[in-house]
Chains A and B, each alone.
Chain A
Amino acid sequence: MLIARIRKERPGARRSSFVLDVSIDVFPGITILFGASGAGKSTLLDCLAGLLRPDDGRIAVGGDVLFDSERGIYVPAPKRRIAYVFQSLALFPHLSAEENIAYGLQKLPGELARERVEAILQAFRVEKLRKQKPGEISGGEKQRIALARSLVTEPRVLLLDEPLTGLDAELKAAIVDDLRAWNAAKGIPILYVTHSREEVDALGDRVITLDNGGVESSGAPMEVLSAPRRKKLAQAAGFENFLSATVLDLRETDGVMRVRLGESACQIEVPLGYATAGSRVQLAIRAGDILLATEKPRGLSARNVLDGRVVSLEQRGTMAIAHVDCGITFVVHMTPGAVRSLDLAVGGKVWLVLKTHSCHLVD
């Protein structure tokens, strides 16, 4: 287990300086480090790996103290046994795949090193590329080799800085499966940085969210990201609709309140929050959580039905995106099949259906 308390100030452009001030516990298994760019993810990883010296704090792995500002302990990067896969991968361009992987094994006797390299080449299915240089290898395979190079050293902690960006979902899943299989036996803490919502859902046992240099929340992915408390985090977590609303009345016994959306006449029911009648609140709603109907629906459990008109409709990949004007404009995602079977068109009249608990209150 990795326990870290870190404070690090970095001078930024034009007098503004960035302060990272976090306290995290990383358990064995994959922990996602989630946050918008500039939130301090890479600075945190650099501090953990020993590439940046924190101004203040303490870092310990297992019982081993790697950094302690009070006791003046600072273990340099080469002695930490913390593996780090960079976003750029940083494979050595002049060495073959095999030589790259063997790079961290210089202290092992030759025979043992060769065995380990062989085993990891197979575990990550890159045996065929052993003699090739990184310049001759495709993206996904380079990522496998970078992972193999880090893991072959049997690290105590693995840091991954968006290692799978730019890969398609299928390839990503395959690499992640290999990583999970490898860690099933080793059980080390893996800190995985991403700003992709899909990766969070697919990967994380736990999530730590960073915002503006501090830990904002941590816990299971569903808890942390389904009910985002901050607008910035909600944006990063894929909430497309942000609406400001005025509270009309509270119905404490039902656990709900009625709000009026923006300056429109639309009224909807949302979960009860810390608010009083007349106060302003912010709502976040996922575009995929909104249902569309071409006839006024009846007999629904959902409490909110709004009528409006389709103002735009476009297809992006396997997803259709509609903008619907109900006095206030909503973004709605659906499948292209749904568009066809509803015979949706720009200008058409539609009804929006919103579950109360799909409306999240954010700060």
Chain B
Amino acid sequence: MEALWLSIKLASCVAGILLIIGMPLAYWLAYARWRGKFLVESLVALPLVLPPTVLGFYALVAMGPRGPLGKLWIAFFGHGLAFTFGGLIFASVLYSFPFAVQPLIVSFEAVDRRLLDASAVLGAGGLRTFWRVILPLSLPGIVTAAVLSFAHTLGEFGVVLMVGGNLAGVTRTVSIDIYDHVQSLEYAEANRMALLLLVFSFVVLSVVYAVNRRVWTPWEAK
């Protein structure tokens, strides 16, 4: 049960952080007219194609006591980042990046440009236009981004194993826990956990799809 709780805590943190850093980035990717934009887009999409071991490996190197991030972390907090909950969050944020940013870009781009023009001629600057027009009209996309990054983090295995190891209560998430049980031939235990994760994921996704549908209808209906 401790493992499940840890997984939920990790997934919530990651989803929250991704929304905060994902929104400005997605805004920029959706509206900027810079030629080199495709490079940033590729970078954001990279975790989709890389095996988690590759990402985990580099994350681990960066966070190690001799890596740049690890040194910085030690200087501020006095202990290393690898094999801690903080390190797990960092690696998971990287790994789930496209799952938050892509739906945000899609929903920002879907907002009618003339609405943004209307906001501008009515005296609103970029920030006010974002809060009053883009954000409310992208709500379904934002919910999708939050849920996808949450669910994706909940289900991750490789990255967690690479950078977090298997410390009970610190880095042992549900997926690791299940793997452990299977390795020790405790099938009943593994099954209990797996079933729990399955049901939980299904319920969360159902709630989101239901909400999304309701949010959409009044604005789509002409």
Residues of B in contact with A (beta carbons under 8 Å apart): 112, 114-115, 117-125, 128, 132-133, 136-137, 218-219, 221-222
Contacts and interface: CB of A to CB of B under 8 A. Distances in A.
A333 interface: no
Main secondary structure on A side of the interface with B = loop
Nearest to B133: A92
- 10 A-B pairs with least C-beta separation: A104-B122, A90-B118, A77-B120, A90-B114, A84-B121, A94-B136, A93-B219, A78-B123, A51-B117, A90-B115
Interface string A39-70: 00000000001110000000000000000000
Contact of A92 (B115, B121, B218, B221): B115
Contacts, number: 68
Contacts of B137: 93-94
Main secondary structure on B side of the interface with A = helix
Contacts of B114: 86, 88, 90
A51 B122 contact: no
B127 to A, nearest CB: 11
Contacts of A90: 112, 114-115, 117-118
A113 B155 CA distance: 51
Given A76-B120, A79-B123, 10 more contacts: A77-B117, A78-B124, A78-B125, A90-B112, A92-B118, A94-B136, A94-B219, A103-B132, A104-B123, A150-B122
A106 B122 CA distance: 10
Contacts of B133: 92
A259 B96 CA distance: 79
Contact of A78 (B115, B120, B132, B221): B120
A149 B219 contact: no
B218 A135 contact: yes
A332 interface: no
Contact of A106 (B117, B124, B219): B124
25 contacts: A50-B120, A50-B121, A51-B117, A51-B121, A77-B117, A77-B121, A78-B124, A80-B121, A81-B123, A84-B117, A86-B117, A86-B118, A90-B112, A90-B115, A90-B117, A92-B115, A92-B119, A94-B136, A94-B137, A103-B119, A103-B132, A104-B122, A104-B123, A150-B122, A153-B122
